Chain A
Amino acid sequence: MNIQDNYIKNKKNIFFSENKDIETYREKLINVFESDRLDKKNNESLKNINLKNFIDFNYKYLISEETSVINNNQENSYSIVSVNGQCSSFKDDKIEITKILDEDYNDFSKNDTIENNDHFVNLNSLFLNSGFKIVIKKNNNIKIKISNIITDDDLTIFQKNNYICEEGSSLNLIEEYENKNNSTLNLLNVIKLEKNSQLKHFLIQDNSSNHNLIITSHSTCKKDSNYTQKVYNFSEGYVRNFHYSELIEANSEADLQGIFFLKDNNTSNNKTFVKHLAEDCKSNQVYKGILKDRSKATYFSNTHVDQVAKKTEGYQLSKGILLSDNASYFSKPELKIYADDVKCSHGSTIGPIDENAIFYLRSRGMSRIAATKILISSFINEELSSIDNEQMSEIIQKKLVRYLSKVK
């Protein structure tokens, strides 16, 4: 089915289809997909995957009868179970959870540079059928854990979540994605950090092999704010992590990190994009990957420094370990710098496990497999040891052990 028919057929299930402005915009997007000029060859979001599989899909969405749960188990700590992308409303003096509204639609969805380049965000804008908005009120220090659950097979969920951290607030956000159904989750997170706010965002991804997980996030940081994101990808299915960050006011910071463990025929596409639009900002982009069997990964990182962004510090690092002959890793660490008073650097390495280190361990009586496992653990140790949440650290350790048990 072509994309237009698909949209018209399912219109009643899709958010904001009565809004005229949004409808006109969606028509424009459909035209982008239908036009011959759709550039599939040079598009970063499409490397190693076939866009056709994502455009010709069977749309299926159900509002589940299982209700989502919001549980205030400790003071300042909430756990949320989001079912099929939905979450019921909630309000207290610290946080407020509501449905997304028409006016939230425009955030990031309508972005000129994305329109032509990121087809998955466009698909999200077209078929949007779920999502919620969380506001952290002024000067509160909050912990939230969100478990994303999909109830039925073959669902296609297009979700948009908005997070707003008000002035002086601080949020520790853990998101878990563990889905075993043959479904697709296309999630767009739009994050706004007001003055002097802080967000630590952890994403733990562990999907079964027939599930597609497409996560895009866009964060904007105002004065003195700080956004830290850590992605842990243990999935067996296709995962896409595209994270855009804009530093719009002075002295803000963005730190985008990720590690991924791939095996079998799995593919993972990753991208981080930091735009420095104000003075004295800092950014850091670090991705590490371990690939075995016939897995493929791409990592695009981009640091853009605007002319006004003086005293910028921007660092990028990409590291990959290939454990098999048939694995492949593509990285493109890009720097675009239009200001002169900056310190920017990037580094990228791809290679096998260091034979000298293996030799050292083996000469001390270790088997080759044990030595390999130790070296892989040490490769990502920095990322794991920086987790300050004990519960989460345990979860991740378990998943790592599971991955390592398959290393031969």
Chain B
Amino acid sequence: MNSETLNTLNTYTKNKYKYGFVTEIDDEKPKKGLNEDTIKFISLKKNEPDWMLEWRLKAYSKWKKMKEPKWANLSFPEIDYQDIYYYSAPKGFEKKPKDLSEVDPKLIETYNKLGIPLEEQKVLAGVAVDVVFDSVSVATTYKGELEKLGIIFCSIGEAIQKYPDLIKKYLGSVIPPGDHSFSALNSAVFTDGSFVYIPEGVKCPMELSTYFRINAENTGQFERTLIIADKGSYVSYLEGCTAPKRDDNQLHAANVELIALEDAEIKYSTVQNWYPGDEDGKGGIYNFVTKRGLCAGKNSKISWTQVETGSAITWKYPSCILKGDNSIGEFYSVAITNNFQQADTGTKMSHIGKNTKSKIISKGISLGKSQNTYRGEVSFLRKADKARNYTQCDSLLVGNQCGAHTVPYIDSKNNTAVIEHEASTSKINEDQLYYCRQRGLSHEEAVSLIVNGFCKQVLQELPMEFAVEAQKLVSISLEGSVG
């Protein structure tokens, strides 16, 4: 690396986290630590029926017997589960505000700082937003319009009260609570999240969107999202995250379940920008997320798109179980790590049905002293006749202290299935850089242009509303350290 690159690296790595502020609101918390009382407290606070509490306690008893999965290429101090608050809600939120004007102005201000003014969004973007502020849904807009189509879009807490049948049938059906320790933990203590149900034949006319946000210190955020697309329906769901600056590592263990029935399509897009820790690797979010989609019916489709720029530790594998014949699974990912961030992310495509297809495009960019790992499994079971997979994962290394790793697991048990995997790792091409500089771009602009081109295949999969934000995030992350 030349000295100019190093100079720019040094100047820009000092970029501070833009969203590092804390809103001071009185919290209402149970005691620290995880035990049956905590779970009962959460259940009581959420005014849940008995069967839900039972479900939680069952998951808890499973969790007690489990150990954290250790196979990821991550190193972090052991998590002390007894040193975390498992529930935190801004006071006076047991009764929900009916209108935005009833919401605490301080909260609204927080979102304004984040750049998602609800008022404006309502008018301009046409996006219904289910905002989660430390575990309780603040406001759900555009509900009325969605209701007309029969679409249910509410917090999971509300869904447990109102649609117990759907919840009983689908909750935990894709990610069983006993799957691994983080899914058991989430099942025991999840506090909020979104619930979406699209009825038969309905194409959801707008992008559904949620903004998650962790606020109170030492509060693990345990989201549970459940999306069900009934026969022939379509929905596109957006999820975005930012978190304020804290010195302690915060734990985030979300579970997201998607179910697509016959001919249904779900598109799930994420921009993850949790606090990544400072340049010395202090602080930052521990992000242990389980995302799994089930293509239950014939001709169904699930598509994951993710842009991962934040978190001190990312452990995330959005996967698809392709059970229905002719079903399709897609995974597009950009993961950028900087400073001391560690990301171990990828996907899992399990081909069960006939003629199932999957496509994986993953782009990893490592900067600073970070470690970026792609870990993906593609498996063809015996009955997956004529199944097809294409995987491409490319890594880009910027600087000589970071690492880029690719760990694919490929398993074929069917002799008509075809699987292709390719991966490459390289640094930014000097010729391209030279070409751009020759045409008058600064070194940084040139790198930014090349990296954006590198990610384009994934970014173009994002819905319009997100694409702009994602591109901004990518260049902010790069601005920091690409010379």
A residues in contact (CB < 8 Å) with B = 42, 307, 310, 320, 322-352
Contacts and interface: CB of A to CB of B under 8 A. Distances in A.
A322 B409 CA distance: 17
The B contact surface, by secondary structure, is strand
Given A328-B412, A340-B402, 20 more contacts: A324-B415, A325-B415, A328-B413, A330-B410, A330-B412, A332-B407, A333-B410, A335-B395, A337-B425, A338-B402, A340-B397, A343-B426, A345-B425, A346-B421, A346-B423, A347-B422, A347-B423, A349-B421, A350-B410, A352-B415
Contacts of A331: 410-411
Residue among A322, A334, A350 facing the most chain B CB atoms (10 A cut-off): A350
Contacts of B405: 334-337
Contact of B400 (A325, A339, A343, A346): A339
B382 interface: yes
B412 A341 contact: no
The A contact surface, by secondary structure, is strand
A330 B421 CA distance: 13
Contacts of A310: 400
A124 B382 CA distance: 36
Contacts of B402: 338, 340
Interface string B393-422: 001011111111111111111111111111
A347 B400 CA distance: 25
A337 B403 CA distance: 5
Contacts of A330: 409-412
Contacts of A348: 408, 410, 419-422
B76 interface: no
Nearest to B409: A332
Contact of A342 (B401, B410, B420, B425): B425
8 tightest A-B contacts by CB? A322-B415, A351-B418, A340-B397, A348-B421, A335-B406, A350-B412, A345-B424, A328-B413
14 contacts: A310-B400, A327-B413, A329-B411, A335-B404, A335-B405, A336-B405, A339-B397, A341-B427, A342-B397, A344-B425, A345-B423, A348-B408, A348-B422, A352-B417
Residue among A310, A343, A346 facing the most chain B CB atoms (10 A cut-off): A346
Contacts of B401: 307
Interface in B418-474: 418-427
Interface of B: 1, 71, 382, 395, 397-427
A320 B408 contact: no
Contact of A337 (B397, B398, B409): B397
B415 A340 contact: no
Contacts, number: 113
A341 B5 CA distance: 14
Contact of B425 (A324, A335, A350, A352): A335
A322 B71 CA distance: 29
A73 to B, nearest CB: 46
A333 B425 CA distance: 13
B406 A322 contact: no
Contacts of B398: 340
B342 to A, nearest CB: 13
A349 to B, nearest CB: 5
A345 B415 contact: no
Contacts of A345: 422-425
B417 A351 contact: yes
A7 B208 CA distance: 66
B195 to A, nearest CB: 36
Contacts of A327: 413, 415
A340 B399 contact: yes
B410 A352 contact: no
A344 B424 contact: yes
A334 B346 CA distance: 14
Residue among B400, B403, B415, B420 facing the most chain A CB atoms (10 A cut-off): B415
A43 to B, nearest CB: 12
A42 B71 contact: yes
Contact of B403 (A42, A325, A334, A336): A336
B422 A350 contact: no
Given A42-B71, A337-B404, A352 B421 contact: no
Contacts of A329: 411-412
Contacts of B409: 330, 332
Contact of A322 (B395, B412, B422, B427): B412
Contacts of A326: 382
Given A325-B415, A352-B418, A341 B400 contact: yes
